[in-house]
Structure 1
Amino acid sequence: MTQPGPPDDAAPAAALEALEDLLLGGHPSLTRVEVCERAGVALEDASHLWHLLGFPHSDDDEVAFTETDVRSLQHTKALIDLGILDQERQDGLVRTWGRSFARLAEWQVDLLTEVSADLGVDLAEGVTALSEQVLPLVEDLQSIVWKRHLMGAWSRVMVSASGEAHRAVCFVDIVGYTSRSKTMTDRELVSWLEDFESAALDTVLEHDGRIIKNIGDELLLVTDTAEQAAAIACKLTHRGEDPDDPFPSVRAGVAYGDVVLRLGDVFGPVVNIASRLTSVARPGTVLIDEGTYLQLTGREHHDDDDARDEDDHDAPYRLRRLRRLSVKGYSRLKAWSLRPRSS
């Protein structure tokens, strides 16, 4: 009987060479020192940029770069020379690029790997063929999506000329996530979370909101008005309480006020308050802060006010004032429970 020989590494090696041509514009032919010399960028500065992007370290004499890397450094230097990127902006932007694209790349490679397996073709052969057909389409689509979001971001900036703006911030948290996740495989858990985010996104977009990020079992979203955030929070919590709806049980917290918008994220006390309210909300409920209360009712709250909020039958929501909450960072936080009057 003929004994099987050693595994043939020729196919994976050929596939990687083909991918280098497609993705990197050719085989590596330059060291990092040569790239910096040709781009006119100090080696120390380039190394700092590559580190922020999450690229592996290479030795000075290691041939690991292509002409594309020269061009990327030239573009970066041009942005710095134009005054677009100072040190602080450069670090923040580049770090965000590195993290975002690394996650996107991992997901896309996993997808193409799964498609190759579904087609029953060899991984090296399948990924190479799919990459040649799919990646140019994906690259163009990513550019289109990015420009659309860029246009939306510019529109919001035109309304608010500074980085600080009034926004409603809402957290939506899955109830019982830890116990349920223990009963799932990794693939089932990822699928479940993706279904949750996809379903939530439909509601968020319906009310002109934006999902800033998902933090495990929690979504952070932002809207321009408190009314939009309240509608989103109420609809999602209502869905979670419907036994015929596969959407998971959730709780939500909404706060309104000044936030700092930076690199697609939001910061400030309003974000912290929304997070704290979510952490103490009961399953299927929405808690709001004083800023949201003012926006929804048009009146300020005073300590000697009673709980007459529910008597306002013309309002779309029922509001019940709670005892002041003691949460991390806020020992006496004013809060109200919120639910649609139709419920």
Structure 2
Amino acid sequence: MPESADGVRYTASEVAERTGVTLEQAKKLWRALGFPEAGDEAFFTDSDLAALTTLTDILATGIIDFDLAVNLTRGVGLTMARLSDWEVSAMVHHLELLGRAADRPDLPGVAAAVTDEFNQRFEGLLTYAWRRHMSAALARLEASDADDVGTTQVTVGFADIVSFTALSNTLTQEKIGDLVELFESRCADVIAVQQGRVIKSLGDSVLFVNDDPIRAYDTAEGIINVIGRDPRMPDVRLGLATGSVVTRLGDVFGPPVNMAARLTAVARRNRIIIDETMAGLLPVDQFETRRLPARPVRGFGIVEPVAVRRN
């Protein structure tokens, strides 16, 4: 079949036939990658066919079943989509700072050319980072003493910018973007130094976990120092809770996650609030804890938050 000018050659039915799966399975894998369907017309390129063939070849080995393939493929799609948006926006911002996009004559073209040259060297870093993080994830699994595989005991932390909605209404879009970028990058640096992991960022908040409650406290204190104590940055609030969480789809779920979020909402500016479980794990010779007045916490009933600081 001759290939069109834009590389499109195959319909979804032709892709399914060549990869040896049903039409619905081919569509499901394609959707899992995060791409839209295109009906019955030719839509897929040789590269698209090769990607789906890679997935079906893995299925043929019997290492994983179809449902797991869709699950993992969705993770790849979500991660790569966010990384691509992140990379392009960062590249455009970089070009603007350099003045190469001042008149915006062909900003998409300039960004595409620079990004293409950059990506030739960047692809190797992607593979390295994936393998390195995979090794770390397997090491955490091996070190876990939880009876139920997939659950782990951690301290969950939420860092939240105070009054972000009101603040964002007073800033230009560029200033909001700069603020969020600086907030996330500083949080990520502190979390990494304390051997924690960023689970996700939501613009005005960051969710992180740490295996050690003391390091989790040091993370919270560090975030306050680099953001809340910086007069150029807004105030922050930190909530920490310890307990068992379920790790799934690159995220964590469970009562400690919800508790940390609730505690953040009641914390004072540039202060750390923790739950009772975490308070019981902190050495009394290193930390001073103080129970705050009991209050209703959605989903938990009446809770006594605990304020904490180092002696």
Structure 2 residue corresponding to 1:256, chosen from 236, 239, 242: 242
Q: Which residue of 2 aligns with 1:146?
A: 130
Q: Which secondary structure state, in structure 2, belongs to the residue aligned with residue 277 of structure 1?
A: helix
How far apart, CA to CA, are the structure 2 residues paired with 1:115 and 1:295? 45
Deviation at 1:106, TM superposition (A): 2.1
Cα deviations by residue, 1:18-58 (Å, 9 ceiling, x for unpaired):
xx6xxxxxx22222221111111111011112223221221
Q: Which secondary structure state, in structure 2, belongs to the residue aligned with residue 119 of structure 1?
A: coil
How far apart, CA to CA, are the structure 1 residues paired with 2:299 and 2:133? 34
* Match runs of 1:316-327 below 5 Å: 316-327=286-297
Deviation at 1:130, TM superposition (A): 2.3
Gap runs ≥5 in structure 2: none
How far apart, CA to CA, are the structure 1 residues paired with 2:215 and 2:244? 16
Q: Which residue of 2 aligns with 1:277?
A: 263
In the superposition, the TM-score normalised over structure 1's length comes to 0.80
Native 8 Å contact 2:29 2:52 kept in 1: no
How far apart, CA to CA, are the structure 2 residues paired with 1:335 and 1:123? 51
Cα distance change on mapping 1:187 and 1:328 into 2, 3 Å: same
Cα distance change on mapping 1:84 and 1:216 into 2, 3 Å: farther
Cα distance change on mapping 1:219 and 1:55 into 2, 3 Å: same
In the superposition, the TM-score normalised over structure 2's length comes to 0.87
* Match runs of 1:1-343 below 5 Å: 27-60=7-40, 62-86=41-65, 88-114=67-93, 118-119=99-100, 122-123=106-107, 126-127=110-111, 129-160=113-144, 162-242=149-229, 244-297=230-283, 315-341=285-311
Q: Which secondary structure state, in structure 1, belongs to the residue aligned with residue 282 of structure 2?
A: helix
Cα deviations by residue, 1:247-306 (Å, 9 ceiling, x for unpaired):
431111111111111222111111111111111111111111122112114xxxxxxxxx
Cα deviations by residue, 1:50-105 (Å, 9 ceiling, x for unpaired):
22322122122x22212222222222223334444445534433333222222222
Cα distance change on mapping 1:79 and 1:269 into 2, 3 Å: farther
Gap runs ≥5 in structure 1: 1-16, 21-26, 298-311
Q: Which amino acid aligns with 1:252?
A: L
- Name the larger-Rg structure: 1
Q: Which secondary structure state, in structure 2, belongs to the residue aligned with residue 329 of structure 1?
A: coil
Q: Which residue of 2 aligns with 1:3?
A: none
Cα deviations by residue, 1:100-128 (Å, 9 ceiling, x for unpaired):
22222223233444556633574465345
Native 8 Å contact 2:152 2:247 kept in 1: yes
Q: Percent identity?
A: 35
CA RMSD of aligned residues (A): 2.3
Q: Which amino acid aligns with 1:157?
A: L
Q: Which secondary structure state, in structure 2, belongs to the residue aligned with residue 139 of structure 1?
A: helix
Moved over 6 A (4+): none
Q: Which amino acid aligns with 2:71?
A: G
Q: Which secondary structure state, in structure 2, belongs to the residue aligned with residue 134 of structure 1?
A: helix
How far apart, CA to CA, are the structure 2 residues paired with 1:163 and 1:191? 36
Deviation at 1:321, TM superposition (A): 1.3
Native 8 Å contact 2:296 2:303 kept in 1: yes
Cα deviations by residue, 1:121-150 (Å, 9 ceiling, x for unpaired):
744653453244212112222222222211
Aligned residues: 299
Cα distance change on mapping 1:66 and 1:319 into 2, 3 Å: same
